[in-house]
A = this chain, B = another copy of it.
Amino acid sequence: MMTNKGFHVAVVGATGAVGQQMIRTLEERDFPIRQLTLLSSARSAGKTVSYKGEEIVVQEAKPESFEGVDIALFSAGGSVSKKFAPEAVKRGAIVVDNTSAYRMDEEVPLVVPEVNKEDLKNHKGIIANPNCSTIQMVAALEPIRQAYGLKKVLVSTYQAVSGAGKEAIDEMYNQTQEILDGKEIKPEILPVGGDKKHYQIAFNAIPQIDKFQDNGFTFEEMKMINETKKIMHMPELSVAATCVRLPVETGHSESVYFEVETQGLSAEDIKSKLSGAPGVVLQDQPEEQIYPMPADCVGKKEIFVGRVRKDLDEDTGFHMWVVADNLLKGAAWNSVQIAETLIDMEIVKEK
């Protein structure tokens, strides 16, 4: 792509749900792109994707595909990142990886720009994009932590099927129509494509996202717990999560209980820190029935917070409801935002 200025950007997983959003976000942000390389598995190679009116042919990812690439955005599954991210780095690219492959690697910064962009300075070639449900929560908690400290976080999630990919979206809509038509359904994807059993998602709620660990928590829940501590640089923070999949296409919601260090605060104190915080929009007027909902957040880059209220028993405890587009702030936009921040901070420079 086709100007002399800017960067050579590669998108790995260009035909997936998040990859598509990455390309749309690069376009919308008018990201400084000199050349755009779109990569995928052999299966999807040969498809074309439009970018700024031009049709680009998606190529099969190979080590050589990364020759000359400045910034590579990966979102094609952990095994693809494990295989190709080191190849991209070897060839001089900086990688922003949206899979879980490197998130807990001590050498790899795990970044939400509103929270810990300074960590980008320590990168060794790969930067990890956190899990979707983690990103929106830490970005909402950060302005509160800065002002009042943070001791404890308990979250129950209400997560959309698009986090499980395009096939999960199709399954939800097809299954919904089958149920409305009184037909028998045959779940094949959700809750987890690679797991043994599959359950109805239409008109249901499934308390499993990703597979189970031996401790009874799912990997998704452990991601929220461990990633939150890493991003906030708070290994001592108490965090627990229960993650639940809903029949919602896009937009994760979270019921978050948290305890701060400071005593005697009111809900207004918390709201005053959320209002105007980077990337956060406060939508909190119960008397007007104004609160965030997934159906309203789709296509938006911000994190929406409402239902802020003080716990009735614990002086330092508060509740809030956090909603964001899991494909944008939860994935594509946070990745592109990391890339923009790398440029702003002059960590990546034009060659």
Interface residues of A (CB under 8 A from B): 152, 154, 156, 158, 173, 176-177, 180, 191, 195-197, 199-200, 203-208, 212, 215-217, 225, 238-240, 242, 244, 246-249, 253, 255, 257, 267, 286-289, 291-295, 306-314, 317, 319, 321
Given the interface pairs A180-B177, A267-B216, A309-B216, the reply to whether A208 lies near B242 with Cβ below 8 Å is no
Given the interface pairs A195-B289, A240-B319, A242-B307, the reply to whether A203 lies near B253 with Cβ below 8 Å is no
Which residues on the B side are within 8 Å of A293 (C-beta)? Answer: 199-200, 204-207
Which of A154, A239, A292 gathers most chain B CB within 10 Å? Answer: A154
Which residues on the B side are within 8 Å of A286 (C-beta)? Answer: 212, 216
* Of B191, B203, B287, B291, the contact of A248 (CB 8 Å cutoff): B203
Top 9 nearest A-B pairs by Cβ distance? Answer: A216-B309, A238-B313, A156-B156, A156-B255, A212-B286, A204-B295, A242-B255, A197-B289, A207-B321
Alpha-carbon distance A200/B293, docked complex (angstroms): 9
Contact residues of A: prevailing secondary structure: mixed
Given the interface pairs A156-B255, A205-B158, A306-B207, the reply to whether A240 lies near B312 with Cβ below 8 Å is yes
Measured CB to CB, the nearest residue on chain B to A307 is B207
Alpha-carbon distance A247/B51, docked complex (angstroms): 36
Measured CB to CB, the nearest residue on chain B to A249 is B203
* Of B180, B312, B317, the contact of A173 (CB 8 Å cutoff): B180
Q: Show 5 A/B contacts (Cβ-Cβ < 8 Å), sorted by A.
A: A205-B294, A216-B308, A238-B314, A240-B319, A242-B255
Which of A154, A205, A244 gathers most chain B CB within 10 Å? Answer: A205
Which of A196, A197, A216, A308 gathers most chain B CB within 10 Å? Answer: A216
Which residues on the B side are within 8 Å of A253 (C-beta)? Answer: 205, 207, 244
